[in-house]
């Protein structure tokens, strides 16, 4: 598994390079389609704001996907605890667990939690392009390409390193011959620290990192497809697109709320001694969506 993580990190580096070259080619095609021969980051008023927005989007996208992973895992933990508590003989191994329920939770969470990141990737170039003009798209994609190239490589390598660190500590002998102390192995503080790192490292290397390649390519493709409308747009078109984005965020929030309410009868409260508190499983998702709505 450790060798696989290392090999995967190398492969993800090639994937990032491929995504960056694809995005650069699509950016060049967009500039040709909109007849932009050069840009001036100082004189063009839209360049600096769009550049900053493009550099920020990958971090927001990554945060949303990683929060979705953590929340989905907590939902499954709740379901597993419920089955242990309510299915007689499950702990003793004499009864079978309801695996379908866990698969259903993971599938619903995947569909539910990717609606907002997907809308963000599709609508951001539309809103920026219609609101600030085609040159703003050049700044948006340039900022996203630079930010993704660094962030995706960091996530792929750091996540694999944290995962391998846990495996390395688990392979430690209980005591070292030249030291009369316990440095590694399961059950030690060092192992607990590496487990915490691996908890962040897995969504780093398996979720947020690879999805950034898709984000930058999707933004570039949407920009190229809408090159003609963006080139002939006006300020009012941008305001309409911004209103559509706000409405889309509201609709997605309602859909998420409806999906959560449909599962509310099956939700259970977490035990008080679990350290995770009580409340609906979608609480953190709701706070994240509220924060995103406020930002918009």
pLDDT tens digit sequence for 233-265: 665 666 676 777 777 777 777 776 666 665 554
pLDDT digits (tens, 9 = 90+) for 149-159: 999 999 999 99
Q: Which pLDDT value is given to residue 182?
A: 57
Q: Which pLDDT value is given to residue 270?
A: 40
Q: Which pLDDT value is given to residue 277?
A: 39
Q: Which pLDDT value is given to residue 53?
A: 93
Grade residue 291 by pLDDT with cuts at 50, 70 and 90: very low
Residue 80 predicted with pLDDT over 60: yes
**Candidate ranges 20-29, 66-75, 165-174; pick with highest mean pLDDT:** 20-29
Find, among 164, 235, 188, the residue nearest to 7 by Cα: 164
Geometric angle at alpha carbon 134, from 132 and 139, rounded to 5°: 80
Find, among 152, 150, 126, 146, the residue nearest to 241 by Cα: 126
Measured distance CA(55)–CA(281) in Å, rounded: 31
Computed on alpha carbons and rounded to an integer, the radius of gyration of the chain in Å comes to 23
Of 255 and 104, the one with more pLDDT: 104
Q: Which pLDDT value is given to residue 233?
A: 64
pTM of the model: 0.76
Mean pLDDT score across all residues of the chain:
80
Grade residue 274 by pLDDT with cuts at 50, 70 and 90: very low
Of 236 and 104, the one with more pLDDT: 104
């Amino acid at each position: 598994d450790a060798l696989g993580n290392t090999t995967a990190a190398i492969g993800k580096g090639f994937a990032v390079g491929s995504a960056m070259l694809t995005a650069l080619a699509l950016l060049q095609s967009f500039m040709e389609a909109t007849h932009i021969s050069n840009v001036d980051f100082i004189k063009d008023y839209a360049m600096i704001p769009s550049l900053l927005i493009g550099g920020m989007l990958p971090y927001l996208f990554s945060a949303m996907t990683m929060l979705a992973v953590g929340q989905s895992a907590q939902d499954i933990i709740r379901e597993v605890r419920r089955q242990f508590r309510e299915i007689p003989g499950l702990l003793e191994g004499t009864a079978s667990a309801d695996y379908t329920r866990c698969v259903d939770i993971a599938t619903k969470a995947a569909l539910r939690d990717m609606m907002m990141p997907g809308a963000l990737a599709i609508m951001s170039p539309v809103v920026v392009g219609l609101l600030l003009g085609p040159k703003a798209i050049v700044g948006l994609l340039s900022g996203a390409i630079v930010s993704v190239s660094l962030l995706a490589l960091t996530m792929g390598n750091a996540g694999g390193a944290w995962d391998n660190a846990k495996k390395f500590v688990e392979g430690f002998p209980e005591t070292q011959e030249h030291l009369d102390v316990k440095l590694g192995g399961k059950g030690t503080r060092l192992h607990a620290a590496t487990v915490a790192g691996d908890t962040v490292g897995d969504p780093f290397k398996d979720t947020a990192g690879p999805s950034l390649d898709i984000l930058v390519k999707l933004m570039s493709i949407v920009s190229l497809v809408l090159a003609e409308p963006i080139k002939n747009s006006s300020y009012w078109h941008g305001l309409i697109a911004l209103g559509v984005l706000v409405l889309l965020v509201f609709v997605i929030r309602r859909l998420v709320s409806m999906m959560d309410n449909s599962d509310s009868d099956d939700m259970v409260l977490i035990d008080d001694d679990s350290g995770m508190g009580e409340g609906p499983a979608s609480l953190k998702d709701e706070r994240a969506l509220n924060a995103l709505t406020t930002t918009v």
